[in-house]
Amino acid sequence: MSELAARLRQLRPQFLAQVAQAAGAITTSKDDATRFYDALIAASETEGTPASLFEVFKQWGDLTTLHLLRQWVWETVRLELPPAEALQMVMALEDHFAACVLCLTERESERQAQATEAQLRQMRARLERLDQSKSKFVSVAAHELRTPLTLIEGYARLMMNEVEAEQFHRLEMFLQGLEGGVKRLEEIVEAIVDISLIDNDMLALSYQPLWLGTLIQQLQVELAEVLAERRLTLNTVNVVDMGFTYADSERARQMLLNLLENAIKFTPDEGAITVSVQALPGFFEIAVADTGIGIAAENLEHIFDKFTAVGNVALHTSSKTKFKGGGPGLGLSIARGIAHAHGGTIWVESPGYDEQALPGSVFHVMLPELREPPNVASRLERAEETRALPRHLSPV
């Protein structure tokens, strides 16, 4: 047994008497103080870190308690030993106390880090719940809006069929207005439902063989009337004989239609739109270029965020095809959701925004070339590959 430990053992009753004296003024119980003192003796018997003391402080204790206990030890030593020996003993014990301070400080910062982490977890969970309830609200609201809209549309059709020819001429304008309004509202509700699906990672894709060239030609036919009205030319490059890939044709159509409708909206009359397709290793790249007003550098990324409409929304018309016609700001967000769901990417290039010089914009979509419908695992791999694409091709 070391000399120090032997001395401590001798002073044990005096130390406990000190504790008993302080009883009532302190929160540390006699048992705890005894456990501490015995651990101090044990620590003095061995070299190195005072593991026995750490054990005691693991159960209870903080820096204030340690400070109190140290004072009692000093007081006992001062009262019971000659000054020179007392000083020597205090110095010898000081190493143990310093190690305990360090241990308690580390434990305290660990405890604080854990508390902060728990708080962060709680906040994250709250945010997730908020986000989920927002998206749920959107899908419920969308459902509730869809039902009455279908009714209004149905009754407007019935009225159109029922009214006699003579009356019809008078009512025609109103009924057509009603039908047009309902159709637009339906499209907005559908867009909100799509965004809610995308936000919740619930966009289910139905993979079928998709011939991109055929799809683009179909869209060209569909948009012919609007293009003629606006005296816009739609050119296609390299779309014939382009191979096929497995994709959700409906969603791919919706994505390209959004890009083409935007190109129409943001290109003044007599401009040109060009759609081109390029087969790259493992991907198809579709580019939709226009000779329109272009996009300012600071908006190149934001326009893919939902509910983003650049410029003064109040000045927009609500037409889907008129020059600078407005919209809810969901088209590009949906296009991005569809591209990502396929394991692809979408981005835009534009020299800038200028309504006089008309620098134009080019939207690029990369779709993976798939020879068979993917299973979930390979879709996840695709998503990983996409993330590894060069910076200018990385997903927005």
User: Residues 61, 292, 344, 368: which binds ligand ADP (CB under 6 A)?
Assistant: 292
| Beta carbon of residue 105, minimum distance to ligand ADP (angstroms, whole number) | 54
| Beta carbon of residue 360, minimum distance to ligand ADP (angstroms, whole number) | 8
| Beta carbon of residue 391, minimum distance to ligand ADP (angstroms, whole number) | 22
| Beta carbon of residue 308, minimum distance to ligand ADP (angstroms, whole number) | 5
Rounded to 10 deg, the angle between the 63-80 and 83-162 helix axes is: 170
Q: Residues 50-87, buried b or exposed e (16+ Cβ, 10 A)?
A: bebbbebbeeebeeebbebbbebbbebbeeebeeeebe
Tell me how far apart the alpha carbons of residues 273 and 233 are, in angstroms, rounded to a whole number.
6
User: Residues 293, 341, 365, 367: which binds ligand ADP (CB under 6 A)?
Assistant: 293
| Beta carbon of residue 261, minimum distance to ligand ADP (angstroms, whole number) | 7
The smaller minimum CB distance to ligand ADP, of residues 209 and 325, is found at 325
Strand partners, 349: 362
The smaller minimum CB distance to ligand ADP, of residues 15 and 304, is found at 304
What are the backbone dihedrals phi and psi of residue 41, each rounded to the nearest 5 degrees, phi first? -65, -45
Task: Give DSSP secondary structure letters for 248-311.
Answer: -HHHHHHHHHHHHHHHHHTS-TT-EEEEEEEEETTEEEEEEEE-SS---GGGTTGGGSTT---S
| Beta carbon of residue 363, minimum distance to ligand ADP (angstroms, whole number) | 7
The smaller minimum CB distance to ligand ADP, of residues 61 and 337, is found at 337
Strand partners, 278: 285
| Beta carbon of residue 132, minimum distance to ligand ADP (angstroms, whole number) | 24
Site for ligand ADP in 312-371 (CB under 6 A): 326-333, 361
Please report whether residue 271 would count as binding ligand ADP according to CB under 6 A. no
User: Residues 197, 239, 290, 323: which binds ligand ADP (CB under 6 A)?
Assistant: 290
The smaller minimum CB distance to ligand ADP, of residues 254 and 378, is found at 254
> Do residues 345 and 366 make contact, with C-beta atoms less than 8 angstroms apart?
yes
Closest CA to 259 of 229, 284, 224, 223: 223
Q: CB under 6 A: which stretch of 110-118, 218-226, 257-265, 374-382 binds ligand ADP?
A: 257-265
Please report whether residue 303 would count as binding ligand ADP according to CB under 6 A. yes
Neighbours of 40 (CB within 10 A): 25
Please report whether residue 260 would count as binding ligand ADP according to CB under 6 A. no
Surface-to-core class of residue 47, CB atoms within 10 Å of its CB (0-12 exposed, 13-18 middle, 19+ buried): exposed
- Which residues lie near ligand ADP (CB under 6 A)? 258, 262-263, 266, 290, 292-293, 295, 303, 308-311, 326-333, 361
